[in-house]
Chains A and B, each alone.
Chain A
Amino acid sequence: MLNYIWAGLLLFGFITAIVTGRVDAATKAVMDSAKSGVTLGIELMGVVCLWSGLMSIAEKGGLVRAFSRALNPLMRFLFPGVPLKHKAMGAMVMNIAANFFGLGNAATPFGLKAMTELQKLNKDSNVATDSMCMFLIINTATIQLIPATVIALRSAAGSVKPTEIMLPIWISSFVAFLCGVLICKLFSKVWRC
């Protein structure tokens, strides 16, 4: 999909540039943007490395495990189709906890493990179960303790207060989570195949 979007942006952009007579501006944008891609990456590096390091300490200190235990009652409500002691539950709760602490690299293996385990509970291996849909939706609306990338972006752009968006981000991702869960519960009753 991204193949088409990327080519589409470039093709439509260059054609528009020729039609509207902005060829020079477009050509300049190519060179400038290529450079700013690298600059942006380097500017993000400091903050992203810092939080990634700090969150590793949280992981080793048992914070992720403690947090995942606190999630258990919520998990029962979210995934009524999965037995509480099942391996899928353990993998899902670790995935959600790792996402909360911004440990993207740790979250993905747990997520893949969770999907494999959920598939074992699936009767029709072609069609997603209610639990799978719910798990995916929660993954796209995770609440993150420190939105490190956004803070890094803002600080790179010269913001006076790069962290001032933390509270609004928590609120909005909580709204996304809540709406996602409710809509998913509702849809799963009627959307069967």
Chain B
Amino acid sequence: MDPFINDLVAYWPQILTGLQRTLMLMVIISVSGIAGGVCVFYLKLVKNKTLRKWTEAYISFFIGTPLLVHLFLMYYGLPQLGIRLSAFTVAVIGFTLNVSAYNARYLTTAYNGLDKSELEAAHAQGFTHFETFHLIILPQVMRLSVPSLTNQVIQNLKDTSVAFLIQYHDFFAQMQEIAATNFHFFKAYMTATLVYLTLVSVVVLVARRMERSIALPGFET
């Protein structure tokens, strides 16, 4: 049998654990990123100008600076200030802050395309600012943002691989170990590529199905 296959079989439990960690991180940051994105998006719409400016600054900061720098800052930088966080905690916080900023931007872009007379109608009916947000604005911008949000989920899945640089033992970290141990670089990275491609394909299939299930007349994206 091919020595690489032997290695895969031998390392199978670690690979499986790594895969579980990758998927767990992806699911957590996708959910927290959408929740965070909705919160940041809400803050973009509040009446308080100062709060709106700070929110825009937050979005610009996280979109304008590399994710890896944030992860390194928290994992390697914070201990110098006496704050020690596990690799998993850093990954979840770092990704959430980053993904929330991107998601807020997608939602804001969708919001800019909304017919604002609906919002005036909601206020005229007596809905409060928050009711208008969650009953009128959010259901529409979420629908309009589905392609961008699902692309972000795919991006999240791929980006989890950088977490191995802060000692998070995900799938890619396990493949890296196999490659480095027995020098099967090409086969190991090729296998990793195929596994990521399979996972992304599953996410795409689920996303397209979801898009179809929530499609409404007038919301063709």
A and B pair up: no
Binding site for A on B (CB under 8 A): none
Binding site for B on A (CB under 8 A): none
